[in-house]
Amino acid sequence: MSAFGTSDTGRPQSTYSGEVAQQFIMPTINVPSRRPFTEAGKGLGRLKLLVAGVGKTALIRTITQSCSHIVHVDPTVPVAMASKGFLPAKTMPNSPPISQGTFQITETLASTKPYPSWWKDSAFSSPTPAPIQPEDTILDRNICLVDTPGYQETCRPTDTMGQVSQYVESYLQKSRLDGLEDPDVLKTISGSGGLLVDAVLYMIPSSGLSATDIHYLRQLDALTNIIPLIAHADTLTLEQTAAAKKHIAQQLAEADLGLFSFDPSTDGVGEQHIYAASSELVSDSEVMDASLLMSSEYEVIAHLERICDEFVKRVARKREAGNEALIRDARGKIFTYGSFRLGVFGPGSDIDTLVVAPKYVTRADYFEIFPNLLKEMAPPGSITDMAVVADAFVPIIKFEFDGISIDLIFSRIAMLKQLNKDFTVQDSGLLRGLDEAELRSLNGTRVTDEILSLVPEESTFKLALRAIKLWAQRRAIYANIMGFPGGVAWAMLVARVCQLYPKAASSVIVNKFFHIMRRWPWPQPVLLKHVEGGPLQVRVWNPKLYKGDQFHLMPVITPAYPSMCATYNITRSAMTVIQQELSRGCDITDNIMLGKSPWSDLFVKHTFFTKGYKYYISVITASTDKEAHKIWSGYVESKVRVLVQGLEQHQSIALAHAFNKGYERRHRCTNEAEISQVQAGSFSFLAKDSDVKEEDFEQEGKIEKVQPVETKPDLSGIPGLKTEPTDDAHGLKTEENETQPGVKTEGVKSEDEISKAPSQIPKHNPYTDVFTTTHYIGLTLSEGAKSLDLSYQVENFKALCTQWEKYDAVLNSLNVQHVRSFNLPDDVFEANETKPQKPQKKRVIPNANGAAQIKKRSASEENQEPPAKRQQASVTAAG
């Protein structure tokens, strides 16, 4: 545990919520059964912390859950009681958990490292070692967290104080060399730490110390170090917390009680602080919790490794059935990359995973065997939502494993017929003989590992990156496919700042990030190291050699050979938005560093829909089949950036800002007229969660293909509805809907009609489900814009999408239309957000004669050309 700011865990030790003070946060996650080892964790010695006061158990749970260096936590066990006081009980690490009573002292043992490989064979090895792990590793229980009983008004506080003091003192007596057992002597003289209670975390109510607390602290202060914490600080404002700290510090000074200092000053008297602890439960994303690298995700990786080995063995049998040596030694390798590999994996994130196989395994084998093998070897029901995309730019299998999203790509190693257990992909020579898809797949892991190797302090980098990633997501500038930097690009930008400030803390890195990137002389590239040549005849980023590389606006170059631009698709408008957000980040973090603003100000949600723009373009993809819609909407999403680039060329548009995600909706229709209205943008038939059941899709009678009715939607609304022209602030003629779009006016059969045609009644499901995905583009008009004809840009975009070989005019449709801010659907706003309102028309005030006053036009206005006639600029793709 460390002072506020950051800790060695790479996790923030404080957060803000409005005017709430800095706090230690109590996360809501489950205790993991096993985390991966960290280098910092392996270097930790032995530590025993005793917690007393208010909220003790919650604090211990926080430490075990949120510290990424703790790889395993044993069940809590009680300390045995003897007639002459408390003595440590020798309990088995795997003893069943025992409920903590009010008057019990309990111990929770945790591990950050394994014993040395020689320890398990040593005569001094622990009499109760941890069970053998999958890799034959014995865990060293080097962390001990001691929970103590509280004192109530109905019991004698002196009893509790005496028990806790005797517990601490018993270890002081036990630590004398003549009283230590051989293993304890070895640990002590080797510098690993001993059995002493190193510090007491004393939880104090905000009202201050009672006389009992002071008496308790005096007893403990004579035996060990005291770290005071204000409990339940989430209920206090900054001013209240500051006042409580000042009051408690004064009480401690008057009682002549010293505080433990985290400041390693040379004179032995460092700066002393009182810290605040929160009992508030917050979501992981709000505190950028690094503890999400939990056992569930790593169990999934372990499952995938076993499936990968079996996959390679099956291919080996298929290729050389009689080669027992090849089959016996056949194995594949699983590598992660992206956010998971970087240690900034967050809620809802995908785990980017690479399958590597020997040279005799082909991509065809992968897509033929691996999907079925996943379902065969994984626990029943654990594999869901599988999608195999063999012809993608990077061929991929997407699925969920026990609710965790996995993106699985493949590459073989053309140079090797067998992979060793310690095989890595860092050798550039392994890229020989690979096609472009395999090269792109393999380079994801290589780039991630290279980034981690190039930063001075990995923990500082990870915490700063987690902050920048959360900031980019909250500000809606995190999406490679929509023309913004993706996860790897943001990681490289943060890594470059870490290189420039190798000794800076994470908070300083975040502040410097905004200042440096705002002033970066684009298009000068961001490089973590010089671009290297290699053994292959492949393209390496070089604007002097390749003309296409000269058009990259904000080039961020990957460090692994062959170097590529990770931000090649950033648009001019996206660059403008990014620079605006960087300027905002500069101002906010400067105030944060001066103590004028809380960190929460940096992570305030974007205002794209609430205040961002008056005019929007909505791109609506629709399908009457769920699986077909995934493919169709995904393809259109990848082309939205092309529409944005076309809009940027329009003389009346100053900026076209694509929102970084689409909105998926599900509609239930009873006839083709309703389907047509949904395709045109109607929300009148949205399906409620309570009305939709998965079994509806299994029943007969569902219309698989519905011929869409030809419509002519334009950029001013849904066709067939009453509209009227109005003048907006720019003098641009637009049209708004005066009625709810998509109101049903036909297509509902009467009872008489149904009775005359019983054969037309569906046997099971009378509904057709229509799936839509809508992407929004905010528009800023050029100064003085008088017309807005987008028919050319929209027609080109439509042609690009509908000429796709997998486009099905019967199943799929595409519509592009104009939306005013006050006509945006409700589901793009959160509960606490205010939806823009339609401006009220100004009343015409009659003059003294009863006639309306008419403002005379100026001379400049009289000579202006009349505005061009507004043209329709949207068509239906499935006409």
| Given the residues 8, 284, 402, 407, the one annotated as active site | 407
Exposure pattern of 234-265 as b/e (b: 16+ CB <10 Å)? bebebebbeebbeebeebbeeeebebbbeeee
Which amino acid belongs to residue 176? R
Phi, psi of 620 (to 5 degrees): -110, 115
Q: For 777, which DSSP code?
A: E
3-state secondary structure of 72: strand
What is the maximum alpha-carbon separation in the chain?
112
Which one-letter DSSP state was computed for residue 347?
Answer: T
Q: How far apart (Å, rounded) are the C-alpha atoms in residues 24 and 1?
A: 10
CB burial of residue 181 (10 Å; 0-12, 13-18, 19+): exposed
Give the ranges where 455-552 is alpha helix by DSSP (H).
Answer: 458-474, 487-500, 506-518
Of 218, 196, 2, 187, nearest to 88 by C-alpha is 196
Name 829's Cβ contacts closer than 8 Å, sequence gap at least 6: 609, 610, 835
- Catalytic residue status for 469: yes
Query: Is 350 in the active site?
Result: yes
Quickly count helices (H) and strands (E) in the chain: 21, 25
Contact 573, 779 (CB under 8 A): no
- 478 has catalytic annotation: yes
Q: Nearest Cα to 46, choosing from 132, 140, 130? A: 140
501 is catalytic: no
* From 147, 234, 289, 352, active-site residue: 352
Beta-bridged to residue 53, according to DSSP, are 203
| Alpha-carbon gap, residue 575 to 566, rounded angstroms | 14
Structural tokens at position 851: 């006639």
Catalytic member of 469, 614, 630, 798:
469
The Cα-based distances of 353 to 303, 342, 449 in angstroms read 12, 13, 13
Cα 373 from Cα 378, distance rounded (Å): 8
- In the set 8, 284, 309, 350, the catalytic residue is 350
Could you say which of 68, 170, 278, 339 is catalytic? 339
Residue 407 known to be catalytic: yes
Q: Apex CA 672: angle with CA 671 and CA 678, to 5°?
A: 100
CB 234 within 8 A of CB 58: no
Q: Quickly count: other Cβ atoms within 10 Å of residue 547's Cβ.
A: 8
Integer angstrom CA distances of residue 448 from 36, 258, 547: 18, 46, 27
User: Is 405 in the active site?
Assistant: no
- Which position among 16, 167, 366, 478 bears the catalytic label? 478
Residues that are catalytic: 339, 350, 352, 407, 469, 478
